[in-house]
């Protein structure tokens, strides 16, 4: 149960990072990649090694439009190396929200007053604190376990390479987690 909660928390953080982008600035919104783009993506298997760093850095240097990091697990329990890349991505700032599209009256029906869901008053604040705490944990793990994270020049260079990308987490057909970077 605890692992499932941690997995849900991590996924909420990864998916919630773009939601933090409601503040001004940051990276522009990029729509999720299409099925065709995912099929043509650069796929990098995740291993906790410098070879993984080199392959990901090469794909970022080439500015590949879609990069899929394939993990071997269905839980976000990978080592600090992938956490370091995620923390470096996070240094690039929040993702702006998607542009608003005007509806022509097609969409969800109007809901009646009985369909309103009431949330406890501090829910949004608690969610924000949970996301910020998880981001702090990822950065701490990166700092403690990956040598390049402690090298400020290398960290900033990798954060700059990641800046044009939007990070998403999804599951493959075998339910293993994938980290998807697209520009």
Confidence of residue 12 (pLDDT cuts 50, 70, 90): very low
For residue 142, the model assigns a pLDDT of 65
Question: What is the token pair recorded at 16?
Answer: 């919630």
DSSP bridge partners of 171: 177
Considering the domain boundaries, does residue 111 fall inside one? no
Per the structure, how many domains does the chain have?
Answer: 1
In this predicted structure, which of 23-37, 42-56, 57-71, 143-157 has the lowest mean pLDDT? 143-157
SS3 content of the chain, % helix, strand, coil (to 5): 50, 15, 40
This prediction has a pTM of 0.66
* pLDDT above 90 (res 54): yes
In which domain, by residue range, is 177 found?
2-93+123-182
Q: Is the residue at 116 inside a domain? A: no
Domain-located, residue 39: yes
More confident call, 128 vs 166: 166
- Please indicate, yes or no, if residue 15 is contained in any of the structural domains: yes
The better pLDDT of the pair 23, 32 is held by 32
Q: Is 134 part of a structural domain of the chain?
A: yes
Specify if 51 maps to a domain.
yes
């Amino acid at each position: 149960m605890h692992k499932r909660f941690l997995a849900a928390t991590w996924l909420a953080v990864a998916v919630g990072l773009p939601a933090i982008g409601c503040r001004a600035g940051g990276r522009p919104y990029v729509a999720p990649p299409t099925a065709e783009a995912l099929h043509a993506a650069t796929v990098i298997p995740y291993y906790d090694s410098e070879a993984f760093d080199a392959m990901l850095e090469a794909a970022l240097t080439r500015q590949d439009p879609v990069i899929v990091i394939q993990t071997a697990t269905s839980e976000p329990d990978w080592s600090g190396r992938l956490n370091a890349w995620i923390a470096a991505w996070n240094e690039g700032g929040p993702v702006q929200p998607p542009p608003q599209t005007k509806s022509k009256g097609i969409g969800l029906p109007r809901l009646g007053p009985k369909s309103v869901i009431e949330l406890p008053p501090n829910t949004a604040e608690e969610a924000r604190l949970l996301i910020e705490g998880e981001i702090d944990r990822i950065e701490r793990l990166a700092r403690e376990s990956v040598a390049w994270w402690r090298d400020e020049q290398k960290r900033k260079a990798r954060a700059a390479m990641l800046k044009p990308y939007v990070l998403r987490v999804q599951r493959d057909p075998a339910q293993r987690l994938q980290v998807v970077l697209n520009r």
